[in-house]
Amino acid sequence: MAYLFYDPVRLVKMEIIRHIEDLNPALQGGVTALGNFDGFHRGHQVVVGEAGRIAQAKNKPLLVLMTEPHPRAFFNPSGESFRLTPFRERLNLLENFGVDGAIVLHFNKDLSSLTPEEFTRNVLKEGLKISHTVVGYDYRFGSGRAGDAGTLEELGKTLKFGTSVIPQIHFGVEGAAGEPYSSTLVRQALKEGKPRQAAALLGHWWTVNGPIIDGEKRGRRIGFPTANIEFHDSLVPRHGVYAVRARVEGAGDILIDGVANIGIRPTFGGEDVLLEAHLFNFEGDHYGRHIRLHFIAGIRPEKKFDSLEALKAQIALDCETAKELLGDPENAHHHLPLPTLEAYLESHPNPPF
């Protein structure tokens, strides 16, 4: 499982609650955003941001309630990995945003069989003692996804808590102007090899993290040593070459430019998908350390080369292309900092409803 380490934005640690009975009394009565928030894209940030606005006004803690595993993975465990942000990466984003507590319920047969009324009464009201909920317009809950945002509003009136429903949030990103933000569009951008467009939808750089594993050291033998990472419970973008930036555990709070390849290494007859990152001006044995790899821009699809010399020449060109892309002011890392509640409220002085 990927290791959690992150950009030092927030000093207050978010509490993670696995069982409602273990909820810190100080977090009871909180304002709670409901959802899975895969990717924590700009639409998700509005949901949690508005919960934060209400929490500040009520002087209540800001909570997020989500489930693990994702219901889609629970009902189709053999399906292709689709997660934009595996669990630990999602916690990283929520903590940096300013969430006080993440309630992570284990999604199983018992939880999935609760009716909307049972979930609302047993979990939200009696368990969390919530004062207010915030959900997106397309929120569904309860057995068979029978409950929607309107259901929650009506149940909230009966059980004496407030509900805010966030409408569709539209955007003007290239190729999708006017559409609402969605995790599906982010996945589509990554499957097309467009991490910059994915980042525009997310509002932060798309990131893979995990331990650096021992590889076959082919890159080192041809003059381009790589840090190898396995995909765990994460969507795999289009196979190809990308401009990236990395933070490596133990290397200090620095960003390291590089170039990465996702694919099966067809020139060497590979079969397993692997992520290999060549980091510029970064040497040494780093096996076992954890790395956060931020995908900045796509360079080219993966291809098979006729010779090792042709591969080496192309990698050299890819490195130069990556340096140009990473030097573009539009791709400056601070252009898309990790989202925070403070930044959200400053850029959205009024609620969108």
Dihedral of alpha carbons 137, 139, 145, 150, sign: negative
Closest CA to 92 of 285, 269, 290, 261: 290
The rounded distance, in Å, linking the Cα atoms of 207 and 3 is 13
Query: DSSP H helical segments within 38-182, as ranges?
Result: 42-58, 71-75, 87-97, 109-112, 116-118, 149-159
Pairing of strands 101-106, 274-279: unpaired
- Determine whether 276 is an active site residue: yes
Catalytic residue among 276, 324, 330, 342: 276
Q: Distance (Å, rounded) from C-alpha 9 to C-alpha 204?
A: 14
- Can you tell me which residue has the tokens 């693990």? 68
Partners of 206 in the β-ladder: 295
| Closest to 245 in 3D by CA, of 214, 219, 217, 277 | 277
Q: Mind telling me the catalytic residues?
A: 276
